[in-house]
Chain A
Amino acid sequence: MTASGPAERSWDSRDGRPEAGHGAGRGGGWGHAGGSGGVVPPRPAQPRILLAKPGLDGHDRGLKVIAFALRDAGAEVIYLGLRQSPAAIVAAAVAEDADLIGISVLSGAHLPLAGRILAQRAEQGAGHIPVVMGGTIPAAHADQLREMGVAAVYPAGSLLPEVVDGLLGLAAQRAAT
């Protein structure tokens, strides 16, 4: 069982099954998934990836799929869930010493939300944590997001291995620094 930081509940990944859940958002703790059963191994062996949905969008199919896939690839996933404010996402990433922040937006509000998350990242002195975005993001907006400082963009149509490899690669880079 892995547990650290403000996690209230976590799961035992030895059999790959959840032991208990998470309480997302306002007033709740958040869920940890992954780990190697028993002890948290020293980084960078196990990248710590925080996943969240900012704004009001409730489409969480994609983010949960990514969470499951990262867990199965050996990452520790901190799943914040729905309706998170940019400030809360960055604060959680700092508190959890996350190697990467993964954000999913399918409401079309990706540009302003990314801007606010990046601003919060600067404000909270977390410029070292890469931010990655996925969702319904047109190609022109993906370019804009990268120019703004988003480390990688995975628009609709990205296949799972590509996303998982990309996230693990970025997290490993950050963990190695």
Chain B
Amino acid sequence: MTEPKGPGAASSITTESGIPVAVVYTAEDLPGGEPALARRLGRPGEPPFTRGPYPTMYRGQLWTMRQFAGFGAPEDTNERFRFLLGQGQTALSVAFDLPTQLGYDSGHPMAAAEVGRVGVAIDTAADMCDVFAGIPLDQVSVNFTINATAPIILAAYLVAAERSGVPWRALTGTLQNDILKEFLARKAYLYPPGPSLRLVTDVVEFSSRELPRFNPISVTGYHAREAGCDAVQELALTMASAAAYCEAFLARGLDFDTFAPRLSFHFATTLDLFEEVAKLRAARRIWYRVATGRFGATAPAAARLRFFSGNSGTTLTAQQPLNNVIRSTLQCLGAVLGGAQSIHVMGYDEAYEIPTEEAVTLSLRTQQIIALESGVARTADPLAGSYYVERLTDELEARATNLMGDIDALGGAAAAIEAGIPQRWIAESAYRAEQELASGARPKVGVNVYADTGGAQEATPEAFEVDPLVGARQAERTRARVAARDPGPHASALSRLAGDARSGRNVMPALIGAARAGATVGEMADAFRDAFGEFTEPAPW
């Protein structure tokens, strides 16, 4: 048995994103000393919000424990939601299947084999009612991981709320609605970038009028990070995308101080604990500077970044899957020390399948143990003043700000992504990471070090199986609902939608009308396909 070695004395030791790390940090590492540091930090809840968006942070309110869930038909997901709420989860987060994300009904040939697999299948507003049956929508905040079809899904949700007697103004939650990162990393795009950005803007404009407590967009660096980029690139791409959206909203005539307080962000928290905490703290400071400096925010809430953090699935391993519980615990801790408003912890079995109920419960318990037993939530921003963490925070801010300058020089996030440039950064760094894993330069316990379990932990977790008949059942249910709807109002609602899509009018009212009239997700998505066409990806290399 060899003794585990430390990182060593080499001068080339760096964080995961390549920031050199010294053996020890001292007060000398804080430029300008304590007074300058105090200005860079502010107090929690005060500009520049480095230490957190709220004065009392978790003393006032714990983060929202929001496990991402959804599979099968609407009733299957409804059952998982009720289970999670019964286990003490404090909000919901809906995963949609790929056909729903890409605007195909369950009976469409493109949907074959995919219905209900990575999320729940939604074909009509009636399905949305079934997903939330018995759940009080005015009391539970709901997150929707939906992008290309975000306006359609929002319309279905608003109709479901209406039918359960909940006024729209009472709804809380978040619509991901970040199409740029679909082109960048997640790849569930549908329409070309121009019309896609217009739909995002339609949602934000509509929400700023009708949904005062709802976040109509969550600007997301998480997927780029999971696809391979590093912490600096994640920060820069997120902030550059946020700026691109803000430009689009301003061009629509929206007021920054009005829409910006409802912008939400989404970051990964991976395993490089201090770098990740520093990244999350730097994110708040960068956004403060962007919001006030570039966009002239005057309302404090318009410059105050709030974020959700999903832990990193790509840090988890198929080998020795129980080790993933420890990895997820560290990542959840990082998100808490970074001041997250809501957190999702991965299931330890996600390298195999949709997490089982046992794995999901363990993820929720991880959050609860950190919240209630570890004591880390007692005080706001407990790592403030750490020479190392402050130095890293400064460094991440500086490097990300530089990279944002490079992205601006390319014409901004939308233009850079359309040209495929950050996509190449991501693919190249994913390749590098995989080579380092193979060579052992990047240690991964259970994979390239300590891979021999001596027989322990060899069994793979029990795989979660989605009912193979769910696709046929869901397609049949939708066929019956389509056959039962009143054809007159349905036809006129769809023709209004087609007209509004082409004329440039905000599509939300027409979408809500169509959802009320029983139009399917596929029909509404097709109205946009007809008006906008579909996007095909440019060069990956």
The answer to the question of A161 belonging to the interface, with a C-beta cut-off of 8 Å to chain B, is yes
CA–CA, A142 and B267, complex, Å: 33
In this complex, the member of A9, A27, A59 whose beta carbon has the largest number of chain B beta carbons within 10 angstroms is: A59
In the assembled complex, the CB of B269 is this many whole angstroms from the nearest CB of chain A, namely 18
**Given contacts A160-B434, A160-B435, A160-B437, is CB(A20)–CB(B353) below 8 Å?**
no
Q: Is the CB of B117 within 8 A of A109?
A: yes
CA–CA, A24 and B354, complex, Å: 29
**Given contacts A61-B228, A107-B98, is CB(A112)–CB(B540) below 8 Å?**
no
The answer to the question of A159 belonging to the interface, with a C-beta cut-off of 8 Å to chain B, is yes
Chain B residues with Cβ under 8 A from A20's Cβ?
539
List the count of A-B residue pairs having beta carbons below 8 Å apart: 130
The answer to the question of B188 belonging to the interface, with a C-beta cut-off of 8 Å to chain A, is yes
Q: Is the CB of A57 within 8 A of B541?
A: no
Chain B residues with Cβ under 8 A from A107's Cβ?
98, 114, 117-118
Nearest A residue (CB) for B226: A61
Instruction: List residues 106-121 of chain B with CB under 8 A from any CB of chain A.
Output: 110-114, 117-118
Contact of A81 among B101, B314, B537 (CB under 8 A): B537
Q: Is the CB of B430 within 8 A of A64?
A: yes
CA–CA, A82 and B169, complex, Å: 39
In the assembled complex, the CB of A50 is this many whole angstroms from the nearest CB of chain B, namely 15
Q: Mask for B476-492, Cβ within 8 A of A = 1, else 0?
A: 00000000000000000
The answer to the question of B25 belonging to the interface, with a C-beta cut-off of 8 Å to chain A, is no
Nearest B residue (CB) for A141: B463
The answer to the question of B319 belonging to the interface, with a C-beta cut-off of 8 Å to chain A, is yes
Chain A interface size range: 35 or more
In this complex, the member of B111, B314, B431 whose beta carbon has the largest number of chain A beta carbons within 10 angstroms is: B431
Contact of A161 among B98, B110, B188, B438 (CB under 8 A): B438
In the assembled complex, the CB of A35 is this many whole angstroms from the nearest CB of chain B, namely 13
Contact of B227 among A61, A68, A81, A161 (CB under 8 A): A61
Instruction: List residues 5-61 of chain A with CB under 8 A from any CB of chain B.
Output: 9, 11, 18, 20-28, 31, 33, 55-61
Nearest B residue (CB) for A22: B539
Instruction: List residues 365-404 of chain B with CB under 8 A from any CB of chain A.
Output: none
**Given contacts A61-B227, A156-B318, is CB(A68)–CB(B463) below 8 Å?**
no
Q: Is the CB of B431 within 8 A of A157?
A: no
Q: Is the CB of B430 within 8 A of A57?
A: no
The answer to the question of B163 belonging to the interface, with a C-beta cut-off of 8 Å to chain A, is no
The answer to the question of B252 belonging to the interface, with a C-beta cut-off of 8 Å to chain A, is no
Q: Is the CB of B420 within 8 A of A58?
A: no
In the assembled complex, the CB of B413 is this many whole angstroms from the nearest CB of chain A, namely 19
CA–CA, A11 and B539, complex, Å: 11
Q: Is the CB of B352 within 8 A of A55?
A: no
The answer to the question of B102 belonging to the interface, with a C-beta cut-off of 8 Å to chain A, is yes
Chain B residues with Cβ under 8 A from A116's Cβ?
113
The answer to the question of B538 belonging to the interface, with a C-beta cut-off of 8 Å to chain A, is yes
Nearest A residue (CB) for B115: A109
Chain B residues with Cβ under 8 A from A109's Cβ?
113-114, 117
The answer to the question of B415 belonging to the interface, with a C-beta cut-off of 8 Å to chain A, is no
Q: Is the CB of A159 within 8 A of B447?
A: yes
In the assembled complex, the CB of A139 is this many whole angstroms from the nearest CB of chain B, namely 5
The answer to the question of B536 belonging to the interface, with a C-beta cut-off of 8 Å to chain A, is yes
Q: Is the CB of B540 within 8 A of A31?
A: yes
Nearest A residue (CB) for B352: A138
The answer to the question of B317 belonging to the interface, with a C-beta cut-off of 8 Å to chain A, is yes
17 additional contacts, CB 8 Å, given A26-B536, A60-B187, A67-B540? A33-B541, A56-B98, A60-B227, A61-B226, A61-B314, A64-B430, A64-B541, A65-B430, A65-B431, A68-B431, A82-B537, A107-B114, A109-B117, A112-B113, A136-B351, A160-B434, A160-B435
Seen from chain A, the residues whose Cβ lies within 8 Å of a Cβ on chain B are: 9, 11, 18, 20-28, 31, 33, 55-61, 64-65, 67-69, 79, 81-82, 107-109, 112-113, 116, 136, 138-141, 155-157, 159-161
**Which A-B residue pairs are the 3 nearest by beta carbons?**
A21-B539, A58-B187, A157-B318
